[in-house]
Amino acid sequence: MTDSEFDEILHDCLILASAKEFEAIPIVEPEFTRSEARQIEKMLADPWKFALRYREPWVHKLQRWALAAVLLLFLCGYTMLLVPQVRVWAVNILTDWHEEYVEYSFTYKGTKGEVVLPEIEVTYVPQGYELEDYQNPFGFSANFDYVNADNQILAIYAVIASDNLNMYADNEHRINKDVVLDNALEDRFLEATENGWPNDLTWTSPDGKIIFSIVGHLPKEEMLKIANGIICK
């Protein structure tokens, strides 16, 4: 027998010997805690599922994402501070987004107490809507809430555009559509783009001193009809 033949046999015998070496070893049942035993049970039931669930603790994931977010913010901020072109680009993007998707504001820079809200009369509401609530707090604004049989609310609101009053219209779920309203200085119609969101028509009186708003689940034509039917006495 050559040396290399002997080494091959020795190699295989050593492997088998390593199993035999522990044949007489006293077998001890591992003492797992209840939670360890539960984890092992889960691991054996479905190793793949267990792996997906336990491969990384959520705290570690959270730490990693938080660190990434901080680094990203730092990098963005640093770039914005140092590169004027990036700053201009960011401001332009922000301005566009702000104007198109976040808010419209109506500001009347008059004198406090100059305008008194006149008596408002709603001469038209679609069939089925009943007045549920009317409020006129301090004579500054007027709220008309109508409700139909499906519990859909039609809200009509009028307010004096006093000093620096901003009125915000949520148009994140609505899109701006052109409308022409009789006797309005400015008008905006926001049509809902998602189910469940109402349309919103907002306009100012011809002198710009009163802001009106109608919010409801109604088509544009109906809302315009309501708007045209509102009379300031």
Partner 1 sequence: MLALLLTQLETEEDKKLFRQIYKTHYKLIYSIALKYLSSKDMAKDVFQEVFIAIVKNFDLLKSLSEEKIKAWICLVTKNKSLNINKKEAHSVPTESGWFEERPGALGELANYIFLVDEINNLPEMYRNVLQWHYIWGFSEKDIAKQLNITPENARQRVSRARKKLKERLEKK
Query: Beta strand pairing status for 187-192 and 174-177?
Result: antiparallel
Name the residue nearer to partner 1 (CB basis): 25 or 82.
25
Classify residue 68 by burial, with Cβ atoms within 10 Å: 0-12, 13-18, 19+.
exposed
> Considering the rule CB under 8 A, would residue 26 count as an interface residue with partner 1?
yes
> Considering the rule CB under 8 A, would residue 13 count as an interface residue with partner 1?
yes
Position among 4, 11, 35, 58 found at the interface with partner 1 (CB under 8 A): 11
Classify residue 208 by burial, with Cβ atoms within 10 Å: 0-12, 13-18, 19+.
middle
> Considering the rule CB under 8 A, would residue 56 count as an interface residue with partner 1?
yes
24-32, 88-96, 148-156, 175-183 -> range binding partner 1 (CB under 8 A): 24-32
> Considering the rule CB under 8 A, would residue 48 count as an interface residue with partner 1?
yes
> Considering the rule CB under 8 A, would residue 37 count as an interface residue with partner 1?
no
> Considering the rule CB under 8 A, would residue 35 count as an interface residue with partner 1?
no
Q: Which residues pair with 145 in a beta bridge?
A: 133, 155
* DSSP structural state of residue 185: S
Q: Which residues pair with 203 in a beta bridge?
A: 187, 212
Name the residue nearer to partner 1 (CB basis): 28 or 82.
28
> Considering the rule CB under 8 A, would residue 20 count as an interface residue with partner 1?
yes
> Considering the rule CB under 8 A, would residue 17 count as an interface residue with partner 1?
yes
> Considering the rule CB under 8 A, would residue 41 count as an interface residue with partner 1?
no
- Distance, in Å, from the CA atom of 220 to the CA atom of 126, rounded to the nearest integer, reads 12
3-class SS shares of the chain: helix, strand, coil, % to 5: 40, 20, 40
Residue appearing with tokens 């522990």: 22
Position among 37, 38, 46, 232 found at the interface with partner 1 (CB under 8 A): 46
> Considering the rule CB under 8 A, would residue 43 count as an interface residue with partner 1?
yes
Name the residue nearer to partner 1 (CB basis): 25 or 180.
25
- Distance, in Å, from the CA atom of 158 to the CA atom of 141, rounded to the nearest integer, reads 5
Give the footprint of partner 1 on this chain (CB under 8 A): 1, 6-22, 25-32, 36, 43-44, 46-48, 50-56
